[in-house]
Amino acid sequence: MAELLFYNEYEQFYKMANESRAFRSFCKEAYGEDFSQDGFSDINQINRILKYIPHKKDVSILDVGCGNGKMLGYLHEKTNAFIYGFDYSSNAINEAKSLYPNNSEFKCGCIGELDYPKEYFDLIILMDSIYFAPDLSSFVDQLMDWLKPGGKIFVAYQEGDVIPKTENINTTILGKTLKDKGISFIMEDITRESYDMLLKKREVALKYEKMFIEEGNEEWYNLLIWQTDYANVSFEEFSKKMARYIFIIE
Ligand SMILES: C[S@@+](CC[C@H](N)C(=O)[O-])C[C@H]1O[C@@H](n2cnc3c(N)ncnc32)[C@H](O)[C@@H]1O
């Protein structure tokens, strides 16, 4: 797996996330809840997922690129759904297994390689993970196969980081792929919300500088500062380079 994009970086990231008190405090304050986020999903985005979880018995949710499972843990706590997650980081999956041993199944594996039975999930979430699919078109087919009839897929999708910024909400690679396949979906542009969160992230990172350094996690602090560099430009400038959308696929 070591040759996969960012594999070693994510192994190190989740080791730090599992151990660092500064990072837990940072996430809680910057995002409203500590989900060991690598990036961009705050509690407002996660709470949007709740309305797509059916109110019935035996609901199952899959999180692709679930990290240490904390988002799933939150969704389970709110809805009692059975939670499934996979990620290629063994540091992340070992932690998920120990945090959430019940009503759950966590697997270490790669997008494009791991498989589930057909019509298995009521909801699939991909929070900043769909970009890591080696073949987006066939991965979308696979996700649709895994979905129960009437199920939904919730995707948080950022342009300007791992994938390039396209012109506007109608030109995203994911949107085009779905249209070509005749799959119905709705989109929401949350770029402004994302910019506001970035400002908050910067402010909170600065607050926890000393704690990160005392823990020996200065390099992660520096990364947070680098990731929030856009806090120094106006929203107009930011939105030329970055965009964030939520897709609900049915
Ligand atoms: C940007 S992070 C998002 C993590 C989490 N969903 C969140 O919102 O904070 C991407 C996640 O996908 C995982 N990942 C990246 N490439 C992967 C791949 N090829 N197969 C499985 N997981 C992968 C990483 O370990 C990481 O947990």
**Ligand 1 atom with minimal separation from the 133 CA:** 19
Closest by Cα among 227, 159, 156, 166 to 198: 227
Expressed in percent and rounded to 5, the helix, strand and coil fractions of the chain are 50, 20, 30
pLDDT at 5 over 90: no
Sign, CA dihedral 112-117-118-122, equals: negative
pLDDT for 197-215, tens place per residue? 999 999 999 999 999 999 9
- How many whole angstroms from 141 Cα to the centroid of ligand 1? 19
Q: Is 111 touching ligand 1 by the criterion CB < 6 Å? A: yes
**Ligand 1 atom with minimal separation from the 39 CA:** 9
Q: Whose CA is nearest to atom 15 of ligand 1?
A: 132
**Ligand 1 atom with minimal separation from the 87 CA:** 22
The CATH code that applies to domain 7-249 is: 3.40.50.150
Burial class (CB in 10 A: 0-12, 13-18, 19+), 193: middle
pLDDT at 88 over 70: yes
Q: Is 132 touching ligand 1 by the criterion CB < 6 Å? A: yes
pLDDT at 112 over 90: yes
CA dihedral 139, 141, 146, 147 (to 10 degrees): 120
User: Above pLDDT 90, what percent of the chain?
Assistant: 94
Q: Whose CA is nearest to atom 11 of ligand 1?
A: 65
Strand 185-189 with 243-249, pairing = antiparallel
**How many Å apart are CA 202 and CA 5, to the nearest integer?**
26
**Averaged over 237-246, what is the pLDDT?**
97
- One-letter amino acid at 164 equals P
Ligand 1, from 18, 84, 88: best to mutate by most atoms within 8 Å of Cβ?
88
Question: What is the model's pLDDT at position 39?
Answer: 73
Q: Whose CA is nearest to atom 12 of ligand 1?
A: 65
pLDDT for 11-46, tens place per residue? 999 999 999 999 999 999 999 999 999 978 999 999
Closest by Cα among 131, 193, 121 to 162: 131
**Averaged over 184-206, what is the pLDDT?**
97
Question: What is the model's pLDDT at position 3?
Answer: 75
Query: What is the distance of C-alpha 186 from the center of its chain?
Result: 18
88 phi/psi in degrees, rounded to 5: -80, -10
Question: What is the model's pLDDT at position 2?
Answer: 64
> Which residue bears the tokens 């959430």?
100
Q: What is the mean pLDDT of the chain?
A: 96
| Three-class secondary structure of residue 237 per DSSP | helix
pLDDT for 126-177, tens place per residue? 999 999 999 999 999 999 999 999 999 999 999 998 899 999 989 999 999 9
Q: Is 4 touching ligand 1 by the criterion CB < 6 Å? A: yes
Q: Where are the alpha helices (DSSP H) in the chain?
A: 7-19, 21-31, 43-50, 70-79, 90-99, 136-146, 173-181, 191-207, 209-215, 218-227, 235-241
Beta-bridge mates of residue 125: 63, 154
Closest by Cα among 65, 129, 90, 94 to 12: 90
